[in-house]
Structure 1
Amino acid sequence: MNRIKVLVVDDAAVVRQVITAVLNADPRIEVVGALANPLLAIERMRQQWPDVLVLDIEMPKMDGITFLRKIMAQRPTPVIICSTLTEAGARTTIEALAAGAVAIIQKPKMGVKSFLSEASEDLVSAVLAAARANMKALAGRGQALPMPAAKLSADAVLAPLSGGAMLRTTERVVAIGTSTGGTQALEVVLTALPRTAPGMVIVQHMPEKFTAAFAERLNGICKISVLEAHNNCRVLPGQALIAPGGKHMLLKRSGAQYLVEVIDGPLVNRHRPSVDVLFRSVAKCAGVNALGVIMTGMGDDGAAGLLEMRKVGAKTVAQDEASCVVFGMPKEALKRGGVERSVPLGAIAHEIVQQSS
């Protein structure tokens, strides 16, 4: 089997050293270069084009965003952004994801070596996912990977459903779950929605601190309002609530109103926020009044929850394979029977608008 060729570009020697050691320890991956700036990387790439790039943003000679845009214009290639956990770093990382990067590796300002070593499984998983990314899907808008066996289900946060389905009401809720490739996909969907769109609750797998910058960016380019959720936020027409990184988000009902609850809790399917947790809460509180949408992403988070939604009468939609960057989450939802219909990315906004009628 051919090993995945990775080029690391980061001006910090310790970061280059640790990432190289972690990735080379996996027999499926080979680091073909670890360089201090994009100009050196350009020279190396003329000799050997990598399968995946791990790229810092703030670097000498040329910043990572400019380099990323050059790559995407010349030869779209899976890029993983290695970003610091700062407010400014988060905003820049969201810009990089919009430009075509497929994933984030977070690194703290202090203790980088120990942090990256402890996150070795995440580093390897990110590279494996990036290597299988459908770059045609990314270029068009500017098989699930194996996961370790032991993992918690939504039972760890919220008890399974019991009793009958919710009766139909005038209030509608749309629940969306996505991961790898989801930042670009959500931009396509949300920017196409009118102000009259139904209220939305969204889980995008993303680290803490990055979701606020992501919501802020979307809010600036969409007709609807997009906010990072906080506890007891109302779910309102013309508004999308993004689950904050590092927290689970659940839908709850108070009289005729829908609100969200933002809580701590264990990782579910190795994620917090988890799509399964959100979807189960929507099945419980909204039932037939909801639409569930599962989009591009690695793994199977959301597949069980979408099936629960469908069983109580909610409409369910999956993004189709051709438009997904990674087809893992929709593929698993289809396999389990939770998907009523699959549609291209460009048709999801229409499905959401139909929910309000």
Structure 2
Amino acid sequence: MYTVLVIDDSASMRRVLKDLINSIDEFEVIGVANDAYEAREKIKEFEPDLVTIDINMPKMDGVTFLRNLMRLHPMPAVVISGESVRGNDIFDDGAVGFIPKPETGESMDSFSERIKDTLLSLTFLLKRYTLKKPKPLKAVVSYHNNTDYKVHPDEVIPLRASKFPGTKVIAIGSSTGGVESLLRVFKRLPNDLPPILITQHIPYGFSNSFAQRLNDNSDVDVCEAKDAMVLERGHAYLAPGNMHLTIEKYGNELRTKLLDTKKVSQHKPSVDVLFRSINNSVGGSAMAVMMTGMGDDGTIAMKELFDNGAYTIAQNEESCVVFGMPMKAIQAGAVKDIVHLDEIASYIIDFSRGKRK
């Protein structure tokens, strides 16, 4: 049985959704909320497997709440809203499903079927999520202001930057908008590149399916990273949705190492943790790519890489869904080149062939 929290400012719609969802085998509504702040408390209290979110809500709109939720407590979320124009955008913000509210003249049976079809299609993702479900929050988390929960990368992975040339490695960090943006990059990459490490802020349980999607749409062999994998050319390794991805030297090999520790720069996986480990292992032989995303995760360690002679690029504002992470890295003086999304692949290829450094 998968538990659901319904978030909608309309009391009648909350009742309708509760009844419709409860009529579906395998699903049970364990709570309802009329705005983002009540939802925050209900999430901490009930730890639901799934939330449904309306876009038009008082105090904080549903899109802002969804983005904050994915940063602070990632979990499966389905948007149920009358704003069908936002249907594509909300997937970039972290939603796993979108259901338009019933239009004038649509029968309740038709609306019920649409809800049922969407929720049942997500059960394979929910199974993965419940296996990796985070423990109940003990701290009082603010979805309005998350600055109180910022942990510096030093608390997880101390800086021991390598000063000697090492194996070329490419590291990519991305967040909001990164799923589709990474697909556009990987479709253009050949299979003879140095190892690629990716930290994409992604909800628990969804990273494996996203890695498979990247793999199916690229000549690069892409997988969800597991512990102690030997890095190989032509391969890419995606951080699991609830673990930090790092690499370490073992003799002449580089291997992945997953860390199940606290969030860093408000995220787990964290771009700062990945970039710091890249600096520690190969230093100036690395390339770091900062792509679309909200916040500043990765800025600290990218500046360290830049200072150590690594080649660093950031996605330009025009092609970003959210110009947060790239902007912060640029402002910190951590970036050598600012690149349009559709040019990132060619810059990676040039770096691998010694044309950029």
User: What is the TM-score normalised by the length of structure 1?
Assistant: 0.68
Counterpart check, 1:198 vs 2:194: yes
- Give the alignment partner of residue 62 of structure 1, picking from 88, 105, 114: 114
State whether residues 24 and 30 of structure 1, in contact with CA within 8 Å, keep that contact through their aligned partners in structure 2. no
**Aligned match of 1:138:** none
Picking from 188, 209, 215, the partner of 1:219 is 215
**Contiguous gaps of at least 5 residues in structure 1:** 33-37, 67-80, 92-105, 126-145
The percent identity for this pair of structures is 33
SS in 1 for 2:186: helix
Match of 1:76 in 2: none
**Which residue in 2 is equivalent to 1:256?**
252
Contact residue 149 and residue 266 of structure 2 kept, 8 A: no
Q: Does residue 336 in structure 1 map to residue 332 in structure 2?
A: yes
Matched, 1:293 2:298: no
- Is 2:32 the partner of 1:18? yes
Which one-letter code corresponds to 2:290 in the other structure?
I
Distance in 1 (CA, whole Å) between partners of 2:87 and 2:230 is 46
The residue correspondences of 1:109-188 to structure 2 (distance < 5 A) are: 147-161=146-160, 165-167=163-165, 169=166, 171-188=167-184
For 1:62 and 1:19, the matched residues in 2 are separated by 22
Name the structure 1 match of 2:103: none
* Closer/same/farther in 2, CA of residues 283 and 194 from structure 1, 3 Å limit: same
Report the 3-state secondary structure (helix = DSSP H, G, I; strand = E; otherwise coil) of the residue aligned with 1:61: helix
1:331 Cα deviation after fit:
0.8
Q: Give, in angstroms, the shift of residue 177 of structure 1.
A: 0.6
Supply the distance in 2 between the matched residues of 1:51 and 1:148 (Cα, whole angstroms). 29
Distance 2:140 2:89 in 1: 16
Structure 2, gaps ≥5 residues long: 1-7, 23-27, 40-56, 64-77, 100-110
1:236 deviation in Å?
Answer: 1.3
User: Which of the numbers 219, 226, 244 marks the counterpart of 2:240?
Assistant: 244
Q: Does 1:210 align with 2:212?
A: no
Equivalent-residue separation in structure 2 for 1:196 and 1:335 (angstroms): 33
Quick check: 1:275 aligned with 2:271?
Answer: yes
Match of 1:29 among 56, 60, 75: 60
User: Cα offset for 1:291?
Assistant: 0.0
Check the 8 A contact 2:222/2:237 in 1, yes or no: yes
Residue matched to 2:71 = none
Deviation at 1:260, TM superposition (A): 1.1
SS of 1:174's partner is strand
How many residues are matched?
Answer: 285
Asked if the contact 1:225–1:239 (Cα under 8 Å) also holds between the matched residues in 2, the reply is yes
TM-score by length of 2: 0.68
Q: Is the 8 Å Cα contact of residues 198 and 355 (structure 1) preserved in structure 2?
A: no
Inter-partner Cα distance in structure 2 for 1:316 and 1:353: 14
CA distance in 2, matches of 1:237, 1:50: 38
Aligned residue for 1:284, secondary structure, equals helix
Deviations 1:279-332 (A, max 9, x none): 011111111110000111111100001001111110000011111111111111
Larger C-alpha radius of gyration, 1 or 2? Answer: 2
CA contact 1:252–1:261 (8 Å) conserved in 2: yes
